[in-house]
């Protein structure tokens, strides 16, 4: 599976929409199942922040534990 396809693949029917290689396209309708999709940058960002947070705590959580000793 190509990870680059994750944002252009329909989550419902897994059809690939080749038009979505243009990152400026925010909304699209799947030609396979007619589902309206939002390419919501916010949710992706939030996910990334959560991920980075988890990584940081794995690395010792220097965010608020740096002075606990
Ligand atoms: Zn679809």
Ion ligand 1 neighbours (CB, 5 A) are 10, 12-13, 15, 30, 32-33, 35
Instruction: Please report, for residues 16, 54, 66, 67, 68, the alpha-carbon distance to residue 4 in angstroms, rounded to integers and kept in the order given.
Output: 11, 23, 37, 41, 42
- If asked whether residues 1 and 21 sit together in one domain, one would say yes
- For 45-61, write each residue's pLDDT tens digit: 666 677 778 888 888 76
Task: Look up the domain containing 60 and give its range.
Answer: 40-69
19 and 45 assigned to the same domain: no
Surface-to-core class of residue 16, CB atoms within 10 Å of its CB (0-12 exposed, 13-18 middle, 19+ buried): middle
Does 2 share its domain with 23?
yes
* Separation between Cα atoms, residue 27 and residue 22, nearest integer Å: 11
In the reported structure, the alpha carbon of residue 3 is separated from the centroid of ligand 1 by a whole-number distance in angstroms of 18
Pair 7, 29 in one domain: yes
Q: What is the pLDDT of residues 4-62, one digit of tens each?
A: 556 678 889 999 887 777 777 788 888 899 999 887 655 566 666 777 788 888 887 66
Evaluate if residue 65 carries a pLDDT over 80. Answer: no
Instruction: Calculate how far, in angstroms, residue 46's C-alpha sits from the geometric centre of ligand 1.
Output: 24
State the pLDDT at residue 10.
87
Task: Specify the pTM.
Answer: 0.45
Residue 55 to residue 66: CA distance in whole angstroms: 16
**Whether residue 1 is found in the same domain as residue 32:** yes
């Amino acid at each position: 599976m190509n990870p680059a396809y994750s944002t252009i693949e329909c989550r419902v029917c897994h059809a690939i929409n080749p038009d979505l290689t243009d990152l400026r396209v925010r909304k699209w309708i799947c030609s396979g199942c007619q589902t309206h999709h939002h390419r919501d940058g916010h949710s992706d960002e939030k996910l990334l922040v959560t991920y980075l947070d988890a990584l940081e705590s794995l690395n010792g959580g220097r965010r608020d534990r740096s002075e606990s000793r």
